[in-house]
Amino acid sequence: MLVWTFFLPLQGLRAQSKKANTYETFNKFYLQGVYHYIRRENDLARNDLIQATRLNDSVGAPYFYLALVERASGNTQAAAEYLDKACALDPERAKTYRKYYADATGRNKEKNTTAPSAQSIAKDRDADDFVKRHRSFTAEYVWQKGNEYVEKYPFRPRLVYITAEAGKKLKKYDEAIRLLENGMDFAAMEPDLYPDYVRLLVELYELTGQKAKADKYRKLIQKHK
Q: Are residues 55 and 127 in the same domain?
A: no
Whether the pLDDT of residue 75 is over 70: the answer is: yes
Does the CA dihedral 22-181-33-129 come out positive or negative? negative
Last residue of a domain, one of 74, 107, 140: 107
Band of pLDDT at residue 122, cut at 50, 70 and 90: low
Q: Are residues 160 and 95 in the same domain?
A: no
Here the CATH number for the domain that contains residue 172 is 1.25.40.10
Residue range(s) defining the domain that contains residue 174: 118-224
Q: Is residue 112 part of a domain?
A: no
Q: Are residues 185 and 99 in the same domain?
A: no
Q: Are residues 93 and 141 in the same domain?
A: no
Please tell me the number of Cα atoms within 13 Å of 218 on its side-chain side: 11
CA-based nearest residue to 63, from 72, 77, 53: 53
Judge contact between 128 and 92, C-beta under 8 A: no
Q: Are residues 44 and 94 in the same domain?
A: yes
How high is the pLDDT of residue 3? 35
For 139-168, the pLDDT digits (tens) are 999 999 999 988 877 778 899 999 999 999
Q: How many domains, the chain?
A: 2
How high is the pLDDT of residue 123? 53
